[in-house]
Amino acid sequence: MRVRIIEPVKKHENKKKRVCAYARVSTGSEAQGESLENQIQYYENLISNNPDYEYAGVFADRGITGTTDNRPEFQRMLNLAREGKIDLIITKSISRFARNTAIMLQVVRELKDIGVEIIFEKENIKTLSGDGELMLTVLSSFAQEESKNVSDNLKWRVKKKFERGELIINTTRFLGYDKDEYGDLVINPKEAEIVRRIFEDYLKGKGTFTIAKELNEENIPTVAGGRWQESTILNILKNEKYKGDAILQKYYTPDHLRKVSVRNEGVIDSYYIEDNHSPIVSREMWEQVQIEIAKRAKAKGNKTGDTKKYTNRYPLTGMLFCSKCGSTLRRRTWNSKHSCRKIVWQCSNYIKNGKNACSGTSIDDEVISRLNIEEPIIVREEVKDGKKHYSYTCKSKQNQSGRADTAAEKENGSLLQSINRPIRTVIKL
């Protein structure tokens, strides 16, 4: 018997690679902009003139750091690669692609798994080659360290400016002031009138909600062009720059990779400058407003006039939790302008994000206040036969699955009681 091997027919397809390029500059300056345009033009010519390549675009991010992956064009490119529309990505260098080693390796490995290669021109690295990842790990670590050095140098320059009393402020988002040719703050007369009005209205007894409401009703936009909020009014009232002083380095960036600014609570030096620029309100008026803020905050049960909500504002604040999503219940007033006004506790997630986030839990303050609550509890709301039934579970006794061990809680007295009440239609104004 003779066996003949039939070899498979190999089809030779001259399939072109779908190739794109990625470019980035970290600032929005004119010089950097020209550099980005040059990169885009270079890659368009490089890809289009190669007969083996099919042009898949050039993705370019302007004025965004490489320490984060939160870059619009970068993410758009990755999504197309995941959809199988890109075979090869060309980029100038590791530092242009990413300055964060963890992000770099994560992206490279993900693309490698789906057969997408990255070529780093400067380092001459191809990620699908045998030693590509090893070289990439070493060199991207250098890129990350370089980013840290740049960040440290920038912080040092900013600190020196603060020590000399030089302000770093974006007046395009600062109501009441512009900058002159020397970089000094000068009053914007039209915007300053709004600032004075806010201070005067507050001392006349109006609250931040009322002031914001009236400005919105008169179609007076914020400095950013949006609508007024209570927090915006409060921030203006507490800003020392309106009395002519300036606090420098109120915020700082602890992590050069995350680029998230946090309030400086004495972690690093801050600088206070008196009579730095022309005031919009008198020093006396500004001080009176601060006293009034503290007075109103105390009347509400807050420790200070800060925008943070403190758990001791009301006895049950921070003690009640929604059984459906785990969020805290927030104290609210329903029908505040009508005779049927009442106080309820409602799921904060539902209030903020709507019924798509949580179907919500709500309970009358009168009902929940009858209970002797001394530790956080979960409020469980159920509708049976047209009536609402409530049960309460000690939060600390809840098991890992999110369901309380009811038998054990009954034994320990943690299940407080169930209360029935008819469903009531409420009109929210």
From the list 149, 120, 127, the residue with the least C-alpha distance to 23 is 120
- Please say whether the dihedral angle defined by the alpha carbons of residues 58, 62, 64 and 70, taken in this order, is positive or negative: negative
The helix (run of H) or strand (run of E) holding residue 343 is strand 342-347
From the list 369, 379, 362, the residue with the least C-alpha distance to 415 is 379
Check: CB of residue 25 under 8 Å from CB of residue 63: yes
- Contacts of 103-107 with C-beta under 8 Å, sequence gap 24+, read 103/67, 103/68, 103/69, 104/136, 104/140, 104/143, 105/133, 105/136, 105/137, 105/140, 107/69, 107/78
Tell me the DSSP string of 79-103: HHHHTT--SEEEES-HHHH-S-HHH
Check: CB of residue 16 under 8 Å from CB of residue 55: no
Count of alpha carbons within 13 Å of 281, Cβ hemisphere only?
Answer: 28
Pairing of strands 377-384, 387-394: antiparallel
Structure tokens at 408: 């054990």
How far is the C-alpha of 169 from the C-alpha of 276, rounded, in Å?
13
Is 151 one of the catalytic residues? no
Check: CB of residue 312 under 8 Å from CB of residue 329: no
The set of residues, in sequence order, having a beta carbon less than 8 Å from that of 201 and lying 6+ positions away, is 210, 211, 214
Estimate the share of the chain in helix, then strand, then coil, as percent rounded to the nearest 5. 35, 20, 45
Q: Which of 26, 95, 327, 391 is catalytic?
A: 26
Q: Give the catalytic positions in this structure.
A: 26
